């Protein structure tokens, strides 16, 4: 027999956005249900040192931080479900989601907080050196490379912005791009080419991230020239892969308006979608900032808007009687 769970606020995703929404929703008496999804805890669970989350003077570990958020959400009354959603129906309320085991979840409101994943090169050494010199977020990890030599890989807006950002910490930044021209906006290119701390390597791809030392960390990248096939090695202390992000919205592509490569479209400055009672927060709708603290902030906003939506609906029903 199919099991059905019903709630005033259903949340899909358990990173900083989803759990912040749950904490605020639970405190408002909405008895939220969080369906964790494929990556419980979100991207912070695969992040080691976190130094920029407010409230901690010392570096904390990403998995520990998410365990604390989960514990806080549970303590105030959140129900957490370990399930993966395979089907959604947001054509009517209550919104309805179905897990891979057949369990059904229904919510008077729905908060989508499924996040986004950085795109990776998929080359040798990338996974092994993740967090040991290889990163996909200069804003998150750039501080650890003060005064060191770094490379940024990519040619779009993200890559150029990350290279420019890294000049706040390093006087030796190299942008590696597989073509002979950038895809980024011209104003960003102008800033990049005018910055004396940045060198551009054209027509190069990374063949391998090279580790060494004790403890093992990144010591360089092996490169291949895309035109000649010539191979070379570039010594570096840090490498930032900046080839874009993929928001986790595949299951919603036929149900919601998606923009800019798959991000959920929301009303500017809010987590509200075009569907009343349905909200999106965190990296699944934010293609600009993509930080844990901003994700948590939009999760709070989603919960507050969900509570207001339900309160207004209840008031209208009472007024109509």
Q: Backbone phi, then psi, for 241, in 5-degree steps?
A: -85, 115
* Annotated active-site residue in 83, 137, 286, 300: 137
Residues in contact with 230: Cβ distance below 8 Å, sequence separation at least 6, in sequence order: 224
Q: Is 260 exposed, middle or buried (0-12, 13-18, 19+ CB in 10 A)?
A: exposed
Any catalytic annotation for residue 108?
A: no
The 3-state DSSP composition of the chain as helix, strand, coil percent (nearest 5) reads 30, 30, 40
Q: In terms of residues, how long is the chain?
A: 321
Q: Which residues contact 73 (CB under 8 A, 6 or more apart)?
A: 19, 22, 23, 26, 34, 80
Active site residue 74: no
**Alpha helix (H) residue ranges in the chain:** 16-27, 62-75, 138-141, 157-166, 186-194, 292-320
Examine the residue annotation and report whether 300 is marked as an active-site residue of this protein: no
Cβ partners under 8 Å of residue 318, min gap 6: none
Q: Which listed residue (141, 283, 286, 305) is catalytic?
A: 141
Contact 221, 210 (CB under 8 A): yes
Calculate the alpha carbon distances from 269 to 107, 273, 274, 298 in Å: 24, 11, 14, 9
- Distance from C-alpha of 321 to C-alpha of 316, rounded to nearest angstrom: 9
SS3 219: strand
On whether the CB atoms of residues 217 and 131 are closer than 8 A, the answer is no
Q: Considering the candidates 49, 83, 108, 140, report the single residue annotated as catalytic.
A: 140
**Most distant CA pair in the chain, distance:** 78
- Residue reference for tokens 């919960």: 303
By annotation, the residues acting in catalysis are 137, 140-141
């Amino acid at each position: 027999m199919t099991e059905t769970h019903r709630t005033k606020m259903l949340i899909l995703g358990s990173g900083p956005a989803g759990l912040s929404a749950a904490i605020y929703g639970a405190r408002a008496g909405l008895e939220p249900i969080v369906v964790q999804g494929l990556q419980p805890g979100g991207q912070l669970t695969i992040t080691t040192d976190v130094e920029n989350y407010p409230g901690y003077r010392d570096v904390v570990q990403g998995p520990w931080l998410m365990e604390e958020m989960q514990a806080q959400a549970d303590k105030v009354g959140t129900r957490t479900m370990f399930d993966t959603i395979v089907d959604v129906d947001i054509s009517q309320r209550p919104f309805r989601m179905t897990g891979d085991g057949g369990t059904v979840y229904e919510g008077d409101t729905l908060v989508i907080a499924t996040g986004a994943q950085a795109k990776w090169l998929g080359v040798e050494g990338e996974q092994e050196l993740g967090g040991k010199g290889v990163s996909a977020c200069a804003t998150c990890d750039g501080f650890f490379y003060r005064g060191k030599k770094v490379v940024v890989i990519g040619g779009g807006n993200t890559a150029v912005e990350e290279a420019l950002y890294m000049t706040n910490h390093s006087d030796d930044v190299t942008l590696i791009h597989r073509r002979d021209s950038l895809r980024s906006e011209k104003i960003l290119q102008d800033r990049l080419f005018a910055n004396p701390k940045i060198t551009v390597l054209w027509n190069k791809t990374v063949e391998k991230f090279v580790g060494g030392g004790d403890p093992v960390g990144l010591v360089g990248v092996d490169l291949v020239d895309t035109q000649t096939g010539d191979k070379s090695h570039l010594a570096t202390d840090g490498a930032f892969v900046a080839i874009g992000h993929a928001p986790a919205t595949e299951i919603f592509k036929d149900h919601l308006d998606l923009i800019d490569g798959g991000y959920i479209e929301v009303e500017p400055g809010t987590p509200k979608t075009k569907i009343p009672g349905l909200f999106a927060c965190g990296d699944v709708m934010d293609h600009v900032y993509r930080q844990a603290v901003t994700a948590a902030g939009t999760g709070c906003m989603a919960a507050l808007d969900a509570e207001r939506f339900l309160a207004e609906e209840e008031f209208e029903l009472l007024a109509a009687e």
